Homo-oligomer: A and B are copies of this chain.
Amino acid sequence: MTAQLLSASRPRERIIETASRLFFRQGYCATGINQIISESGVAKASFYAHFPSKELLAIAWLEQREERWIQQLKERIAQCPSIDKRVAAMYSLWGDQIRNEGYRGCGFINMAGEFSNEESPIRALVRDHKDRVRHIIANDVLSEYQPRMKPSDFDELVNAIYSLFDGAIIQAQNFMQDWPIDSALKASLKLLSQSLPEEG
């Protein structure tokens, strides 16, 4: 049983692992506290001892997901010598993830959709995440193009690649297929190839 496997770790970890799976697969609203505690094999009192509310659990989950995802992304691109390879690595990371996770798309975007109040801490967290990814694209993936381009052109290039990336995630989720990822990668490389005035 799942509970058997999970019982090795401590309650707080079991709760987050279960919540991660359920929030991501079913959505936040559709997942109740009762299901979380029953599937993580934890008493209700223990749950509320660790997380004062369902929303704070969601925040803890997103923070953990954020940390792990950013770390994986940085690891993968750090091993790539060229811009093209780093862009490809970014897409392949996402391709691997979406296949493993059953084409459920981006956990942050999905959560943002369920929290319509833009002042909500969840929404702030999602904005921070997306900003951080954008900065990684600009500073770690495309960095060496920055001094060789007009600043506004560089910004547009970053925006374009980032929109392609998010759009591909949405469409892969929608159609439950991989081709949007591949297409977006190809388009990104095409945009890159015509971004420098002197072609090298």
Interface positions of A (Cβ within 8 A of B): 25-27, 29-30, 104-105, 109-110, 112-114, 116, 118, 126-127, 130, 156, 159-160, 162-168, 170-171, 173-176, 179-180, 183-184, 186-187, 190-191, 194
Contacts and interface: CB of A to CB of B under 8 A. Distances in A.
The oligomer's copy count stands at: 2
A113 B116 contact: no
17 contacts: A27-B29, A27-B113, A29-B30, A105-B113, A109-B113, A113-B113, A127-B175, A159-B180, A159-B183, A159-B187, A160-B187, A160-B190, A164-B167, A164-B187, A166-B166, A166-B171, A167-B168
A130 B194 CA distance: 29
Contact of A194 (B109, B112, B190): B190
- The 7 A-B residue pairs whose C-beta atoms are closest, nearest first, are A167-B167, A163-B167, A160-B187, A159-B183, A29-B29, A166-B167, A113-B113
Given A27-B113, A118-B176, A159-B179, 20 more contacts: A26-B116, A27-B116, A29-B30, A30-B116, A110-B113, A112-B173, A112-B174, A113-B114, A127-B175, A156-B183, A159-B180, A159-B183, A159-B187, A160-B183, A162-B167, A163-B164, A163-B187, A164-B164, A166-B170, A167-B170
Nearest to A190: B191
Nearest to A173: B112
B104 A116 contact: yes
A116 B186 CA distance: 29
